[in-house]
A and B are shown apart, each in its own frame.
Chain A
Amino acid sequence: MKKRGCGIGSMWYGIGNTGLPNPSGAFVQVLDDCTVIIHTGCADIGQGSTTVLAQIAAEELGVNFNDISVICADTGVTPDAGKTSASRQTYISGNAVRKAAQSAKETIFKKGAELLQVPEEELILKNYQLNSLKNYNIQISLKEIMAKCREDGTLVIGHGWFNPQTKGLDKRGQGIPYATYAFATQWVEVEVDTETGEIDILNVVAAHDVGKAVNPMAVEGQIEGGSVMGAGYALMEEIILDDGKIINSSFSNYLIPTIKDVPCVNSIIVEEEEVTGPFGAKGVGEPALIPTATAIANAISNALGIRFYELPITPEKILNSLKTANNTNKNQRDF
């Protein structure tokens, strides 16, 4: 017989290291032709941080995304940006890049103010143009400013770094471990075959509060990939040990989900902007995985009326639990 059930999992996740400093640095150079180079130590491992950091710099400088080039993760030329871990790169390195861009902008504004004879605070930089907020006719192109800078020997180079505001935990675990938190709720529907113990995931809905999605497609990619890794965690993945020896040390017996094992994931992006984040952003890499396994476990319990306390929930465990539950029911009837 096949039984269906639904389950929810909610989670919170602190962005960055726990109550420890974890700074990130960046350099931003604006070149004579108004293109931009970012130097960041941030290692992109596929999640798309390079793209996101370029977006942040482009937005801050008001230049086209395609005019940005990113040099990353080379200790010979890039500043330390800490680890690509703890879902911290958008929030922490994003802030560092934004600050570096702001610092480059200061030089531009200073030069612009000098050339236009207006105070810096009166200027805005938009579409490669510096304008006075008070009188829109007072303007100068970024290109001209760059040329003037070149003439008098000024380089437009900014640096920035960011370290989230935290407070280490005391002996009772009290403190401010993280500057900000990501949140999520996922819902999963499963179908369980009560005779073979097989579990089918039918639907997944995953809503994540990421602060601000700098790149929604990349955020969805994280949510989808994380959910599937979470599904593997719930149902099939397990390093099996025999006195410290891994007995499934190949891809033929350590099984991760294939395309046939999971449904398409429905992701929902929630944006509760974080004031300390770059343009309101927090993070999503790890949160994407955290609630999935528990939502699946809750869905299985909902389907069968039996709770599972051990991961992964394999077909064998399902059948054993059903058998135990049946025996218990029989005993109850006997009395």
Chain B
Amino acid sequence: MSHKVIGCSVEQINGSKKVTGKSKFTDDLKMQGMLIAKVLRSNIPHARIKKIDISIAEKIPGVIAVLTAKDIQGENSVGIIIKDEPVLTDEKIRRIGEPIALIAAETEEQADMALAAIDVKLEEIQGVFDPEEALQPSATLVHKGGNLLVHKKLRRGDAETAFKEAIVTAESNYITQMVEHAYIEPEAGIAYCDQDKVILLVSTQDPHYDREEIARVLGIGQHKVRVIQQPTGGGFGGKLDISVQCHVALLARATGRPVKLTYTRQESIIASPKRHPYKIYYKSAAGEDGKLLGVKVKIICDTGAYASYGPAVVTRALVHATGPYSIPNVHVDAYGVFTNNPVCGAMRGFGVPQMAFAHESQMDILAEKLNISPWEIRRRNFLTPGAITGTGQKLGQSVGILETLNKVQSYVKEQGWGN
């Protein structure tokens, strides 16, 4: 079928605004009477709050509002999947960067002075920083319900038998690191009130989710909240969680004035969710023909202090653990674990890049043992149209994995690259 515009490399809509510097990102906006917001954050990872004294901070000239948890009229919690993260904490601190109080002031300097004037008395608690330690019965609890956020299982066929019948096996442990999204635009948002409505201008990946959370936290109907995404300077999953949204909305309601909060780069790195670090225990079994017979995988994901996208990342890791291969016997356990580390959430690939590191290393190890090329072992095992996946799904016709490999191989050959 011939198309008129599908398949055409038309230039980006609004691109001419971007190349001329006319695109208004959130921090580029100013409003009449706008206040500057700052967030007081914890600098220790695990503690109980004994007292928050804002009396001095409130008196600093130019400081219009100082808010703590008790000023929240709706629910004091946010979270994409589980609402486990306080908007402002007044009980327990579970990570460094946890928000404790909000300031709105006429100038940034005044806001900074107010931040320094808030007195927080804490009782430190021993933290837990390794997910496997966190699963020990003696471990300090990050949340009341225990440190296990989620345990997901994938079972297909009989992996034990597959390993008995295997000609070659490979067993390895893989470790991946925590990673920052590093979008070049730090988080930013402006909130203002228009009669009984709260309006937000914000750098975000999902204004509708923001609306839901703001309404719940303010204790008002979703129809009273309007969230307008501004040009957003990258996200990569890091602008899915709530960052500034509820904070500026609370301050705008409290002051009746427009309020802007823009993170510094440091604050962005400290406060924003990260890519989950994984520990992966991976066993693969193959037959003489180089075909995979089974895999057995255990995955431990450190989700940090709060769930964020953790449960989804764990599930995705589970489903994608096999890689793009037909494997009749699959046995995967994936665990998401709370620690006092920074929160881990969504980042480009949702737990799959970690798994790819493991399953693709395994393929090369098996290829070497079987004395076939890395190209060949993949070819022999790729999913094909109509194949059954580890979750028992019968694939449709759009399965181009073999074609991608073939195209890459011929391209490399044409260029005369490699060995």
Contacts and interface: CB of A to CB of B under 8 A. Distances in A.
A and B touch in the complex (CB under 8 A): yes
Interface of A: 4-14, 17-19, 41, 43-46, 48, 50-51, 54-56, 58-59, 62, 65, 70, 72-76, 80-86, 169, 171-178, 180-181, 183-187, 189, 202-203, 205-209, 211-218, 226, 229-230, 233, 237-239, 241, 243-246, 249-251, 254, 256, 266, 268, 270-277, 279-280, 282, 285-287, 289-291, 293-295, 297-298, 301-302, 307, 309-312
B259 interface: no
B396 interface: yes
B418 A189 contact: yes
Contact of A175 (B173, B199, B391): B391
Nearest to A70: B13
A273 B3 CA distance: 14
A78 B389 CA distance: 37
Interface of B: 3-14, 43, 45-46, 95-96, 127, 129, 152-156, 172-180, 182, 199, 204-211, 225-229, 232-237, 239-240, 265-266, 269-270, 274-275, 312, 315-316, 318-320, 323-324, 332, 339-342, 346, 348-350, 352-353, 356-357, 360-361, 363-365, 374-375, 378, 382-383, 390-393, 395-401, 403-405, 407-409, 411-412, 415, 417-419
A211 to B, nearest CB: 6
17 contacts: A5-B419, A6-B412, A8-B378, A12-B320, A12-B401, A19-B315, A59-B3, A62-B4, A65-B5, A76-B228, A177-B315, A177-B391, A178-B393, A250-B265, A291-B356, A307-B172, A309-B361
Contact of A212 (B7, B95, B378): B7
B95 A181 contact: no
Given A59-B3, A297-B360, A312-B177, 9 more contacts: A7-B364, A10-B378, A13-B349, A172-B155, A209-B401, A233-B275, A237-B179, A287-B349, A309-B175
A75 B399 contact: no
Given A45-B239, A211-B398, A309-B175, A18 B129 contact: no
B395 A181 contact: yes
Contact of B319 (A173, A213, A275): A173
Nearest to A55: B5
Given A8-B378, A171-B153, A209-B403, A185 B408 contact: yes
A244 B46 contact: yes
A218 B9 contact: yes
Nearest to B205: A84
A4 B419 contact: yes
B269 A246 contact: yes
A230 B360 CA distance: 14
Contacts, number: 366
Given A189-B417, A245-B45, A291-B356, A181 B3 contact: no
Contact of B342 (A206, A218, A244): A244
B206 A209 contact: no
10 nearest CB pairs, A to B: A209-B400, A173-B154, A244-B45, A217-B9, A272-B400, A73-B229, A12-B324, A76-B226, A183-B401, A294-B360
Contacts of B270: 246, 249
Given A46-B234, A273-B398, A41 B356 contact: no
Contacts of A238: 177-179
Contact of A9 (B229, B356, B375): B356
Nearest to A11: B356
Given A18-B315, A273-B398, A233 B353 contact: yes
A156 to B, nearest CB: 20
Contacts of A307: 172, 361, 364-365
Contacts of A180: 396, 398
Interface centre among B173, B229, B353, B383 (most CB of A within 10 A): B353
Nearest to A171: B153
B412 A187 contact: yes
Nearest to B204: A43
A85 B205 contact: yes
A190 to B, nearest CB: 11
Contacts of A309: 172-175, 361
A177 B318 CA distance: 11
